[in-house]
Amino acid sequence: MIKYFGALFKEILDDVIGYDSRLRHTIFPLLFQPGKITNDYIRDKRFYYVLPIRLYLITSVLFILLLQFNTDTKPFVSSQNGITQVTEQNDLKQSLPNQKKLTTDLPQAKTADTDSDRQDQLLSNHEVSGGVSESIPQQSLKDKKSDEDEAVKSQDFGIQIEGEEIKFQGAEFEKEGFLKDYANTIQIKWETWKKDPEPLVKQVFELLPYMMFILLPIFAIFLKVFYLFSNRFYIEHLIFLIHNHSFIYVALMLDVGFEFFSENFSQSDHLLVKLFAELCALLSVVLSVWIIAYIYLSMKRVYKQGWGMTLLKGSLLGVCYFTLITIGFISIVLVGAYLA
């Protein structure tokens, strides 16, 4: 049984110093035998396989590199340009009725100006006699300005994104601090990202492995809670997650390859090439189904519970997992936006 992190650290040193051929014993059970590597590792048969942490690092780094290489930022730029054109057209459409209304109301405005001049003349005459009329409108203007300032200060300051513009609730940040520096930094970089979001995307990809490396130990706590009476140590839940994530990374890399061949060779004139593209499309669908089935099968074989409890706990853990992933992704986007 694995009880201490020290045992894992010692194995890492042994594996780095000495060369072995564990990889060929790891690939097949990792892809086609859910839970086998985890069970063997817990039963002290771990020397046949690549160390969990090393396996995770290799597969995660390769997957992130492939994902970064396969991601094109041009659609982001095209989307932003399309939004700009649509926004300009909508603004133009909205301005036309206002221009027509302005043309219609112009004679009325002239009449109103004439009436206003007459009122000013009367107030001027009244001012000479009493001297009170001047103080009343000035005081009214001061009160109005004071009310507007109070309304601005009462708003919660923060960043509000509307369309393509970043607006700050309130006139400005009144308190110095990180939040103000962050908001000012994002505001400066926003125009650059609309033209070329590649620095932001690149920074997010650089932070993605760190996010996953932090989330795995956190999610292992959820497994510990869900299987509280399974008499398993925390490190065993963590090893289970490492093996499953390593499988998912390898499967997703294969899926990227299948989709690449399917999209780029489906219109070929050669029959064999076209059939190969269709086969890749089919394998992509099968692989997606196998990823989901693999997770439930591995849970059943490692934790040895019935299908009812496995499906229930797996579904609840899935909700918790995607919640953590969402929070983590939002966090690295916010951090990446500041660092990019």
Q: Give pLDDT tens digits for 276-288.
A: 999 999 999 999 9
d(CA 250, CA 27): 9
Q: How far apart are CA 328 and CA 231, in angstroms?
A: 30
Token digits for 205? 């990809």
Residue 172 lies in a domain: no
Q: Which of 186, 233, 208, 171 shows the shortest CA–CA distance to 65?
A: 208
- 136 pLDDT band (50/70/90 cuts)? very low
Shortest CA distance to 255 belongs to which of 218, 216, 287, 222? Answer: 287
Q: Is 79 helix (H, G, I), strand (E, B) or coil?
A: helix
Counted residue by residue, the chain has a size of 340
d(CA 20, CA 50): 9
* 285-326 residue pLDDT tens: 999 999 999 999 999 999 999 999 999 999 999 999 999 999
* Gyration radius (Cα) of the chain, Å: 32
Range of 228's domain? Answer: 5-72+198-339
Classified as helix, coil or strand, 132 is coil
DSSP 170: S
Residue from 182, 153, 177 nearest 166 by CA: 182
Asked, for residue 291, whether it belongs to a domain, the answer is yes
Tens-place pLDDT, residues 146-196: 554 454 444 444 444 444 444 444 444 455 667 777 787 888 788 788 888
pLDDT at 23 over 90: no
Q: pLDDT at position 243, please? A: 96
- Token readout for 118 is 């007459």
Residue 309: inside a domain, yes or no?
Answer: yes
DSSP, collapsed to helix, strand or coil, labels residue 159 as strand
SS3 270: coil
Q: Which two tokens stand for residue 252?
A: 């997703």
- H/E stretch holding 161: strand 159-162
Q: Please tell me the total count of domains within the chain.
A: 1
- Supply the mean pLDDT for the chain: 76
CA distances from 126 to 103, 118, 133, 136 (A): 35, 12, 7, 12
Whether 93 maps to a domain, the answer reads no
Would you say residue 129 lies in a domain? no
Q: Which residue, 241, 190, 201, is CA-closest to 332?
A: 201
pTM of the predicted model as reported, rounded to 2 decimal places: 0.66
Between CA 233 and CA 301 the distance in angstroms is 17
Mean pLDDT of 258-266: 90
